[in-house]
Amino acid sequence: MANWGPTSAAHVRRHLVAHWSDFEHVFDARALLEPLIARTAAQRRTPQDMQAITTALQAYLIAPDHEASRRADAALHLAIAEATQNPILVTISVDLRAKISLNLGAEPYTEEVRQTAILQHQELVSAVAEARADDAADIAGRNFALSETLIRALAQRAEHEDPAPAELRP
C-alpha cells in the first residue's frame, strides 16, 4: 500500500477483485491449514529444524529492506512448514503463499504490518521451540490474518477508486 501509484487500482481490480471468490477460498484454506502446520511443527520439530527456523527469524529481524524482509518471511514460514516432517504440508503451505501473493513471490505489507509481524514471528518461533502447539497454532492464525486484512483493504480501495485516469475525470 505504501507503493500505491496511478495504475495500482487497475492492477488490483484486474488481478485481485476479478478473482475474488478464489481469494475467499484461499483465505479459508489458509485459516484452517496454517495453524495446523504451526501446531504440527511445534510437536515434531527437531534441533536441526529449530536451527533453520532461528536462522530464518534472525534474517527477518535484520532485513535491511522490503525485498530482504519478504525473502526472510518466506524462508521462516518454509522452515516452520518443513518442521512438520510432512512434505505434503510443506507443498500446501508454499502453494497457499503463492496464491495469496498473486504468484509474485511475496505478500503485500506495510511497515506497520511488518512491526506487528516481527512480534508475532518471535512469539511463533518461541512457541514452536517450546513445543507449545496450541500457542503456535493461535499465533500462526493471527500472523496470516495480517495478510488477509491487508489484501481485503487493497481490494476495497481499488473498488472505490475512480478507474479513469486523472486527466479524463470530470
Q: Grid coordinates in use for 78?
A: 518454509
Of the pLDDT bands very low, low, confident and very high (cuts 50, 70, 90), residue 4 is very low
For 97-118, what is each residue's pLDDT tens digit? Answer: 888 876 445 566 678 888 999 9
For 119-141, what is each residue's pLDDT tens digit? Answer: 999 999 999 999 999 999 999 99
**Residue 68 domain boundaries:** 8-159
Quote the number of domains for the chain. Answer: 1
164 is a domain residue? no
Q: Which residues have a Cβ under 8 Å from the Cβ of 133 and sit 6 or more positions away? A: 39, 40, 42, 43, 127
1 is a domain residue? no
110 is a domain residue? yes
89 is a domain residue? yes
Q: Which of 8-17, 58-67, 146-155 is predicted least confidently?
A: 8-17
CATH number for the domain spanning 118: value is 1.20.120.530
168 is a domain residue? no
66 is a domain residue? yes
3 is a domain residue? no
